[in-house]
Amino acid sequence: MAPLGKIYTYPGNFRVMRAQAIAAMNGTTIETAPDFVMGTTNRSPEFLAKFPLGKVPAFESADGAFFLTEGQAIARYAAESGPRAAQLLGGDARTRALVEQWACFAEGELGGNVTPPLLMVLAKMIPYDEARYGQCAAGFERALKRLEGELKGKKFLVGEELTLADIMVASVLQLAGKFFMDEAMRKEVPGVVAYLKEVMEVKEIKEAFGELQLCQKRLQG
């Protein structure tokens, strides 16, 4: 498969694995830029000339003429760059809008509530704040209940086939499942759990993310 481009990132970035899974579905690949060092490479003049804010993941097209940041935008570009674009993004305005709605939900309602606890208890990049941790847990549970209601009687979030919406949502859920979405939380949303397990078994997604890991008790500070 000819590469779509390369992506600059630190190891284990779920947004990168997500983009690589989408690219594989479209018959292409996204390579990881070698020798990237977070805090060094992304502060270099060469990097900042392409990506002025120094953020990762950062995507560079195979021809070196197109540069893109923001995980959601990179995922969308990968989805649109191949023969399964209509399936992944939708074939009409309403379907595309629904896919975009759930992509935003994944980044905001799910990712927005998973990220602060991740930075507190795993990356230890910010001090542990019990009140904020609790607020994030409550917000995440509320988002899970919204998903549970949406998935009743449905296999996928939008239409009858897997779309970008499912990949965006499942990629955050699998991350949360490792340390935050514990057994007690999962018991309240059996439909979400079944959905997550099915999406994560899709060949290209499983190859990108590996086996789904679900914690028994969430990590806290």
pLDDT tens digits, 152-165: 999 999 999 999 99
Quickly count: other Cβ atoms within 10 Å of residue 53's Cβ: 10
Give dist(CA 95, CA 87) in Å, integer. Answer: 10
**pTM of the predicted model as reported, rounded to 2 decimal places:** 0.96
Measured at the CA of 102, the angle between CA 6 and CA 137, to 5 degrees, comes to 95
- pLDDT the model gives residue 193: 98
pLDDT digits over 58-91, tens only? Answer: 999 999 999 999 999 999 999 999 999 999 999 9
**AA letter at 76:** R
Residue type, 135: Q
Contact by Cβ (8 Å): 64, 127: no
Instruction: Tell me which residue has tokens 């990132």.
Output: 9
Supply the DSSP string of 117-149, one letter for each residue.
Answer: HHHHHTS--S---HHHHHHHHHHHHHHHHHHHH
Query: Which residue ranges of the chain lie beneath pLDDT 70?
Result: 1
Q: Supply the pLDDT for residue 221.
A: 83
Q: How far apart are CA 94 and CA 151, in angstroms?
A: 18
Q: What is the pLDDT of residue 1?
A: 65
* CATH classification number, 3-83, choose in 3.40.30.10, 3.40.50.1370, 3.40.50.300, 3.30.70.380: 3.40.30.10
List the domain boundaries for the chain: 3-83, 89-209
Buried b (16+ CB within 10 A) or exposed e, 140-151: bbebbeebbebb
State the fold for domain 89-209. Answer: Glutathione S-transferase Yfyf (Class Pi); Chain A, domain 2 (1.20.1050)
